[in-house]
Amino acid sequence: IIKGIRDSTSALAGTVAYEALNTSAKVTRYAANRLSGVARGGKASDYSLAPGESRMIISLPSRPDEVPSSFVDVSGHAFDSLTAGLREANYKIVYIPYKEYRRKGASGAAKSVVRGIPVAVRAPLSGASEALSYTLLGVRNQLRPDMMREEKANLRGLSSDF
């Protein structure tokens, strides 16, 4: 009886950990998309804007076609996502104000810095959220390789009943 309780508890803990990683990956992916200005369909044009609101699009690298099988497989995409967010912030907070300074002087540079502050905050957060989402996906797949194989089969359009 005690062995059965241990096995059941272990299985429950594994399932809870898997589902927690799965849900966290989905939530952080959603946060990354919202922060980058991409709506559910993957296009920024899907957003409805309030009157007078301007659209901010932060470009993140697209996810690899292959599902990551472990924590190690995600490092490239995670690094690219973080880099893209920081690059976007750098462009808006350093490069554009420098160009405006050369063109219009200090007042132009100050205005462009103020306009770039929202992107300077959102872009690194978006990149970090995407990196975390993909990393959690790799950890989840490392924890349950059987579910990863099933997901790969579903992505290919095959039945999971094999």
Phi-psi region of 49 (alpha: psi -120 to 50; beta: other; left: phi over 0): beta
Note whether 134 and 64 are within 8 A (CB): no
pLDDT of residue 38: 58
Determine how many CB atoms are found less than 10 A away from the CB of residue 83.
13
pLDDT of residue 160: 47
- Pinpoint the alpha helices (H) of 91-105: 96-104
Choice among 27-41, 48-62, 144-158 with the minimum mean pLDDT = 48-62
Note whether 89 and 36 are within 8 A (CB): no
pLDDT of residue 162: 46
Choice among 15-24, 58-67, 80-89, 119-128 with the minimum mean pLDDT = 58-67
Q: Residues, the chain, total? A: 162
- Kindly report the average pLDDT of the chain as a whole number: 79
pLDDT value at 137 more than 90: no
- List, in order, residues 6 or more apart from 24 with CB less than 8 Å away: 133, 136
d(CA 11, CA 53): 49
| pLDDT tens, position by position, 87-130 | 988 888 889 999 999 999 999 999 998 988 888 888 888 889 98
